[in-house]
C-alpha cells in the first residue's frame, strides 16, 4: 500500500527560519525541519509534502489540493496569518481533513495580538512552543489519527 500523505504547509516569513529571531524561533532552517520530518515520516509509513509561501492564496490552494490528493492530514504553521485569516479558517472547515496547527513558539506567551488564532478555531488540535520539535510532535499526532 502507498504511504499515507501528509501536507506540511508553512506561511509568511517561515522561509527565513534559521536567521529570523533565532532567540524565539531557534537555529533550525525550514530545510532542517523538512529533513527531520521526512526521516520520521518514513519510519511511520508516511510521506510528507512540505511547502512554504508568503502568500495567503497559495496556502489556500494547497489546502484544497491536500483534499483532492486524499491526504491523511495537514500540518499548518500559518505564521502571522494564524491571527488574521478568516479565509484560512474557512479553508480548514471546507476541506474536511484533520488540520494540526503548529507553532515553533508559544503564541499565548507572547504579544496579545498573537493570542487569537483563527486556525485553532477550525483545527483538530494545536502543538506549539517546542521549537522545531513542534512539527515532529504534530507528525506523531497525524500518524495516530
Enumerate the active-site residues. Answer: 25, 103
Q: Do 75 and 11 contact (CB within 8 A), yes or no?
A: no
77 near ligand DQA (CB under 6 A)? yes
Name the residue nearer to ligand DQA (CB basis): 105 or 133: 105
Query: What is the spatial distance between Cα 38 and Cα 95, in angstroms, rounded to a whole number?
Result: 24
H/E stretch holding 127 reads strand 125-128
56 near ligand DQA (CB under 6 A)? no
122 near ligand DQA (CB under 6 A)? no
Residue 56, CA atoms < 13 Å, CB-side half-sphere: 13
Strand ranges (E), 11-98: 46-52, 73-77
Residue 112, CA atoms < 13 Å, CB-side half-sphere: 0
3-state secondary structure of 99: strand
User: Site for ligand DQA (CB under 6 A): which residue of 30, 103, 118, 139?
Assistant: 103
Distances (CA, A) of 57 to 46, 54, 63: 26, 9, 10
- Stretch near ligand DQA under the rule CB under 6 A, chosen from 34-42, 51-59, 75-83, 91-99: 75-83
73 near ligand DQA (CB under 6 A)? no
The size of the interface with ligand DQA (CB under 6 A), counted in residues, is 10
Site string for ligand DQA, 12-51 (x = CB under 6 A): -x--------------------------------------
84 near ligand DQA (CB under 6 A)? no
Q: Give the residues lining the site for ligand DQA (CB under 6 A).
A: 13, 77, 79-80, 82, 103-105, 107, 114
Amino acid at each position: 500500500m502507498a504511504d499515507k500523505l501528509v501536507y506540511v504547509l508553512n506561511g509568511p516569513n517561515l522561509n527565513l527560519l534559521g536567521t529570523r529571531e533565532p532567540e524565539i524561533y531557534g537555529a533550525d532552517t525550514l530545510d532542517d525541519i523538512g529533513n527531520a520530518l521526512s526521516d520520521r515520516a518514513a519510519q511511520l509509513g508516511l510521506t510528507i509534502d512540505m511547502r512554504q509561501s508568503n502568500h495567503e492564496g497559495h496556502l489556500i490552494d494547497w489546502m484544497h489540493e491536500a483534499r483532492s490528493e486524499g491526504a491523511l492530514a495537514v500540518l499548518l504553521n500559518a505564521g502571522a496569518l494564524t491571527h488574521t485569516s478568516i479565509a484560512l479558517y474557512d479553508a480548514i472547515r471546507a476541506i474536511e481533513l484533520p488540520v494540526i496547527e503548529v507553532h515553533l513558539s508559544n503564541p499565548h506567551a507572547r504579544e496579545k495580538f498573537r493570542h487569537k488564532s483563527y486556525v485553532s478555531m477550525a483545527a483538530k488540535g494545536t502543538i506549539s512552543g517546542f521549537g522545531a520539535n513542534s512539527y515532529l510532535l504534530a507528525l506523531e499526532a497525524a500518524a495516530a489519527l
